[in-house]
Amino acid sequence: MLFTPQSDFGRPLRLGTRGSPLALAQARLTAQALIAAHGWSADAIKIVTVQTSGDRIQDRALADIGGKALWTKELDRALVAGETDLSVHSMKDVETVRHDIFHIAAMLPRADPRDKLIGASSFDALPPNPIVGTSSPRRGAQVKRLRPDATITLFRGNVATRLAKLAAGEVHATLLAAAGLDRLDQGNVGTIIPVDTMLPAPSQGAVGIEILAGNAPVIEAVAAINHRDTFDTVMMERAVLRGLGGTCHSPIAALALVDGDDLMLRAEIISPDGQETVSENLRLACGDLDAGEALGRALLDRASPALRALFEA
């Protein structure tokens, strides 16, 4: 062969991504994986950056301005308009119920799903009445459970912005996903929080690739890089979310781990003041998403009316 095929499509595949440094790092990982799996040349994939409303609006909590769709809407539009062939997302930011024209074709190997505490070596080491910056209802509730004296303050922006706000002394501490820090080569920042202390968000640390459901050739090409265990565990965590009918207002944590042929699934919902936690632990068969949804519903059944109300639209 005198040439390397550029891609199997006679043209570069256009990969849509948000433009944040983390999103771009994840897009590059995806492009590299596809190129390696298929022996394509380096220019077989063209990265197309799309600004999302989530990137544009920085002064309000995501939950208050339209939820997770704000991370995907513009990328979805580009896919539908045929301007891109695939979208790369942090699975944590992808709505639980997607329109069926979109197909999650693959996930990359999951990074560390845990959260990190930045600004203090532990929750105990924080000063009295600490101010903790986060706009995640889950993290806020979990912090209040550990430190009822804490004040939670709205904290948005990309990883670098948040670290800058912390450095400027706006808060005593903040929380970030270890995955994002690792993928930005900032794995030295912060202290890992064990999952027993802070169960992560469903899908945290996972990168997924979405394609139009009708686009079989691209779906097939992308399926080649799917990481099976990540796909199975993240789909199970998303099933819990479906069962709960949660939104980004809802403090929900869930983590599934592969255990032989089964999954070990853990999930909890927490009241915003941290005073009420309802949790479940379950071993279940890998593809049994109905059992995952049932676990979500079981959590709600055991919750107080006030906590349950956070899950009603």
Ligand X SMILES: NCc1[nH]cc(CCC(=O)O)c1CC(=O)O
Summarize as ranges the residues that interact with ligand X (CB under 6 A): 90, 92-93, 176-177, 179-180, 204-206
Nearest approach, Cβ of 261 to ligand X (angstroms)? 26
Is residue 72 within 8 A of residue 87, CB to CB? The reply is yes
Nearest approach, Cβ of 67 to ligand X (angstroms)? 11
DSSP string, 61-73: -HHHHTTTHHHHH
Is residue 217 within 8 A of residue 94, CB to CB? The reply is no
DSSP string, 208-233: EEEEETT-HHHHHHHHTT--HHHHHH
Nearest approach, Cβ of 82 to ligand X (angstroms)? 27
Strands 102-107, 115-118: pairing is unpaired
C-beta of 92 vs 266, nearer to ligand X = 92
C-beta of 86 vs 177, nearer to ligand X = 177
Nearest approach, Cβ of 248 to ligand X (angstroms)? 9
C-beta of 112 vs 293, nearer to ligand X = 112
Q: Which of 55, 93, 112, 115 is catalytic?
A: 93
C-beta of 176 vs 211, nearer to ligand X = 176
Nearest approach, Cβ of 289 to ligand X (angstroms)? 21
* Biggest distance spanned by C-alpha atoms of the chain: 69
Is 93 catalytic? The answer is: yes
93/70 Cα distance (integer angstroms): 9
Q: Which residues contact 295 (CB under 8 A, 6 or more apart)?
A: 240, 243, 265, 267, 280, 282, 284
C-beta of 18 vs 147, nearer to ligand X = 18
C-beta of 61 vs 213, nearer to ligand X = 61
- What is the CB neighbour count within 10 angstroms for residue 245? 16
Nearest approach, Cβ of 179 to ligand X (angstroms)? 4
Report the catalytic residues: 93
